[in-house]
Chains A and B, each alone.
Chain A
Amino acid sequence: MIEGALWRRWVFYNIPLILFVFVLLFPFYWMIVTTFRPDGELYLPWNAPNYMPFWTNNPTFEHILYLFEETNFARWMFNTMFIALVSTVISLFCGVLAGYALARLNFPYAGGLGTAIFITYLVPQTLLFIPLAEIIRNFQLGDTPWSLILTYPTFLIPFCTWLMMGYFKAIPKELEECARIDGASRWKAMVYIIIPVAVPGILSSGIIAFTLSWNEFIYALVFLSSPDQKTVPVGVTSELIRGDVFFWGPLMAGALLGSIPVAIVYSFFVEHYVAGLTGSVKG
């Protein structure tokens, strides 16, 4: 807390905080307003006499209804959810095991290997999708959810591994040594002691992995082509922007509904999540 005169608190604390919150929340507000604004208002020129960009007096559900009746939106939601969940589970499984191995098993070149894994995360997807497209075609996975479920881990596993490696390193080594003296094998010590203690870290990397695959755009755009295979980000942008016509209402409605699951996941796990990111292991 900033101490001292009232003006100091405002200048150094309250005003920056308000600005920050405003910048973060305004896009969401814009999304919500646009979702419920009738087309008649949406396409008014800015200098029209009754132009009112930040509020509407005639809220409508027509855009949301349009989304469900005229497009495959429900299907896209299901696709996105399915793909994000499965690829998150795969990546978490591999990431936890790899992170544990890199953090705890003292084998030669563990450090170098850890760095190498992290470097693969740094290769931009905008380059990687070209060779991956070739691979997807060779395995005849194009236009199926598996094309994404199997390619998302290419960037999710390095990410999860790196995060979990850091988390495992923060867990006192003695916990595991004590378990091993107590009669647990290395595997049992990991399953009964280390992984339960690492749950906050696992949840954090799970949430971030889920969000990353939920929002992923390029691979989904390249590997999926038929409308009922698409994910929300691709479906919304490809079906609701036709040529140079933007269907702003349904677009924003799609964006709003598409962000709800992520918001739920975040708020549900937020307590664990924060603990995971700050790496607090209470002894």
Chain B
Amino acid sequence: MAEVSLHKLNKKFDTTHVVKDVDLQIRDKEFMVFVGPSGCGKTTTLRMIAGLEAITTGEIRIDDRVVNEVPPMDRDIAMVFQNYALYPHMSVASNLAFGLKMRKFEKAEIEKRINNAAAILGIESLLQRKPRQLSGGQRQRVALGRAIVRDPKVFLFDEPLSNLDAKLRVQMRVELKKLHERLAVTSVYVTHDQVEAMTLGDRVVVMKDGLVQQVGEPLELYNTPANRFVAGFIGSPAMNFADVTLVENGGKPLAEAEGLRIGLPGELAARARAKAGQKATLGIRPEDIHIATAADAPEYCFEASVEVVEQLGSEILLDMRVGPALMVASVEPTLRVRAHDKLKLALKPERLHLFDAESEAAI
């Protein structure tokens, strides 16, 4: 049972303000992912929760205890580091035992916990080896094991998969997910990889320049991004953006740009009407663009010229030019299309996003 709450958390290194007024409630047993580009303050926030970094202002609570001044050893947390930080001079078993020995556990209990963790992670045969005799994936497991044996209130992960190769990363991602289901311990996970964030997180915190941009469930971030940054960061390939002007034509609001004249549906229309005449950014995801058919209303169609065709097997990515803007569309793999073709495309009106040109917030 552990909730972690951050209240008006700030961190300054000399003159740089790296974490700004972060407010967050991490619920019991929740898997919370911090995601953002490098330097966005996500790792610093994690390190403050761990107690490795002093808090400039604000408050961190684990359950109802304020831990601002509590040293890392007394916070009852476990952390998995990006470079694993295995103790190189100790065997795997001693690595796992270290935290328990420091806490003066009985020998029998230590052994029981090591065997249990080793069984969960499938590293029983490695217990006598030294870290340098292990592969990257095995080291990763040992690092996880060292956290598991402790049975802490909170798990902290600092980009634990980023040193693995792509295939192993996918595999370990699945295992982490299963592990969390099995252990049900409150977890805070930092990554710069939005795919990891989407697949692992119960909720995701998107950060940029030390500020929380949006907190929400993965699909919430995907479907209703709070601003242009979140929209562009979540989802792969990234959302297309086009600078448009909001106009009204015969009572119907439109988003207009060179080579592009898109009608705005339903609710979006109402919100856009209030901003008529202003500049805005239109956002549409590649997977929400398709080849236009007779069923598509003409106000949601546009013309594009294909510049590059990327065959991925399961889909085709078309890099296209729409007026001055570059856009990517993800289309059916069966489509026969070549570079420099001119296509008529349509988009799903209910999947359109609009962002304020100044504040970049969603309209």
Interface residues of A (CB under 8 A from B): 172, 174-175, 177-185, 188, 192-193, 196-197, 199, 281-283
Q: Are B77 and A283 in contact (CB under 8 A)?
A: no
Instruction: Beyond the given A177-B72, A181-B77, please list 6 additional residue pairs across the A-B interface where CB-CB is below 8 A.
Output: A177-B52, A178-B79, A181-B72, A181-B79, A182-B150, A185-B71
Q: Which residues of A contact B77 (CB under 8 A)?
A: 181
> What residues of A have a CB within 8 angstroms of the CB of B103 in the complex?
183
Any A CB within 8 A of the CB of B78: yes
Q: For B146, what are the chain A residues with a Cβ–Cβ distance below 8 Å?
A: 178, 182
A196 proximity list for chain B (CB < 8 A): 89
A182 and B88 within 8 A (CB): no
How many Å lie between the Cα of A174 and that of B86 in the bound state? 9
Q: What per-residue 1/0 map shows which CB atoms of B67-98 lie under 8 Å from chain A?
A: 00001110101110111111111000000001
Contact status B88-A179, CB under 8 Å: no
Q: Are B102 and A177 in contact (CB under 8 A)?
A: no
The answer on a CB contact under 8 Å between B83 and A172 is yes
Task: List chain B positions with a Cβ less than 8 A from chain A.
Answer: 50-52, 71-73, 75, 77-79, 81-89, 98-99, 102-103, 131-132, 139, 146, 150
Given contacts A181-B78, A183-B99, A192-B98, contact A283 B73 (CB under 8 A): no
Query: In the assembly, what is the distance between CA of A213 and CA of B71, in Å?
Result: 42
CB nearest neighbor in A for B102: A183
Closest to B131 in A: A283
Residues in chain A near residue B88, CB distance under 8 A: 175, 197, 281-283
Chain A minimum-CB-distance residue to B130: A282
The answer for the CA separation of A196 and B139 in the assembled complex, in Å, is 20
A177, B84: Cα distance in complex, Å: 11
In the bound complex, do residue A182 and residue B98 qualify as a contact, i.e. CB atoms below 8 Å apart? yes
B51, B73, B85: the one within 8 Å of A184 (CB): B73
Q: Which residue of B lies closest to A188 (CB)?
A: B102
A180-B72, A182-B73, A183-B99 given as contacts; is B132 within 8 A of A175 (CB)?
A: no
| Shortest CB distance B94–A (Å) | 10
B residues in contact with A180, CB < 8 Å: 52, 71-73
Check A185 against B73 for contact (C-beta < 8 Å): yes
Residues of B close to A281: CB separation below 8 A = 88
B75 contacts across to A, CB distance below 8 A: 181
Chain A proximity of B105: nearest CB distance (Å): 10
Residue of B nearest to A180 (CB): B72
User: Chain A nearest CB: distance from B112 CB in Å?
Assistant: 18
Whether A177 touches B73, Cβ cut-off 8 Å, given contacts A182-B99, A197-B87, A283-B86, is no
Q: Do the beta carbons of B87 and A174 come within 8 Å of each other?
A: no
Report which residue of A172, A177, A197 has the largest number of chain B beta carbons within 10 angstroms of its beta carbon. Answer: A177
Give 14 pairs: A residue, B residue, CB < 8 Å, sorted on A.
A172-B83, A172-B85, A174-B81, A175-B85, A175-B87, A178-B146, A180-B71, A181-B52, A181-B72, A182-B146, A197-B89, A281-B88, A282-B88, A282-B132
Shortest Cβ distance from B118 into chain A, in angstroms? 17
By Cβ-Cβ distance, the 6 closest A-B pairs, closest first, are A182-B99, A183-B102, A174-B85, A178-B85, A282-B132, A174-B81
Closest to B77 in A: A181
In the bound complex, residues from chain A placing their C-beta under 8 Å from that of B51 are 181
A178's nearest neighbour on chain B, judged by CB, is B85
> What separation, in Å, do the CA atoms of A221 and B131 have in the docked complex?
50
Q: How far is the CA of A282 from the CA of B86 in the complex (A)?
A: 10
Q: Which residues of A contact B87 (CB under 8 A)?
A: 175, 178-179, 193, 197
Q: Which A residues lie within 8 Å of B72 (CB)? A: 177, 180-181
Residues A184 and B78 in contact in the complex (CB < 8 Å), given A196-B89, A282-B88: no
Name the A residues within 8 Å of B81 (CB-CB): 174, 177-178
Bound CA span A22–B50, Å: 58
- Pairwise interchain contact A283-B102, C-beta atoms closer than 8 A: no
Nearest chain B CB to A148 CB, angstrom units: 35
Measured between beta carbons, the chain B residues less than 8 angstroms from A192 are 98
CA distance A178 to B146 in the complex (A): 10
Residues of A close to B52: CB separation below 8 A: 177, 180-181
Could you tell me the distance between the alpha carbons of A123 and B89 in the complex, rounded to whole angstroms?
38
A181 and B103 CA atoms in complex are apart in Å by 11
Q: Is the CB of A179 within 8 A of B98?
A: yes
Using Cβ atoms and an 8 Å threshold, which residues of chain B touch A183?
Answer: 73, 99, 102-103
- The distance in angstroms between the C-alpha atoms of A185 and B103, with both chains bound, is 11
CA distance A68 to B146 in the complex (A): 60
Q: Which residues of B contact A177 (CB under 8 A)?
A: 50, 52, 72, 79, 81, 85
Bound complex: CA A174 to CA B146 (Å)? 14
Most chain A beta-carbon neighbours within 10 Å: one of B77, B89, B99: B89
Beta-carbon nearest neighbor of A171 in chain B = B88
Centre residue among A175, A183, A196, A281 by max chain B CB count within 10 A = A183
Which residues of chain B come closer than 8 Å to A193, judged between CB atoms? 87
What is the CB-to-nearest-CB distance from A2 to chain B, in angstroms, rounded to a whole number?
32
A182 to chain B, nearest CB (A): 4
Contacts of A185 in B (CB 8 A): 71, 73
* A174 closest partner in B (C-beta): B85
Residues from chain B with a CB closer than 8 A to the CB of A174 are 81-83, 85
Question: Complex formed: what's the CA distance from A196 to B77 in Å?
Answer: 25
Task: Give A180 to B51 CA distance when docked, in angstroms.
Answer: 10
Q: Which residues of A contact B50 (CB under 8 A)?
A: 177, 181
- Distance between A275 CB and nearest chain B CB, rounded to angstroms: 12
Complex Cα spacing A282 to B132, Å: 6
Question: What B residues does A181 contact at CB under 8 A?
Answer: 50-52, 72-73, 75, 77-79, 99
Bound form: Cα–Cα A250–B192 in Å? 71
Complex CA distance for A176 and B87, rounded to whole angstroms:
9
A283 — which chain B residues lie within 8 A by C-beta? 83-84, 86, 88, 131-132, 139
Chain B residues lying within 8 Å of A178, measured Cβ to Cβ, are 79, 81, 85, 87, 146
Bound CA–CA A81/B52 (angstroms): 45
Interfacial chain A residues near B139, Cβ < 8 Å:
283
A199 to B90, CA, bound (A): 13
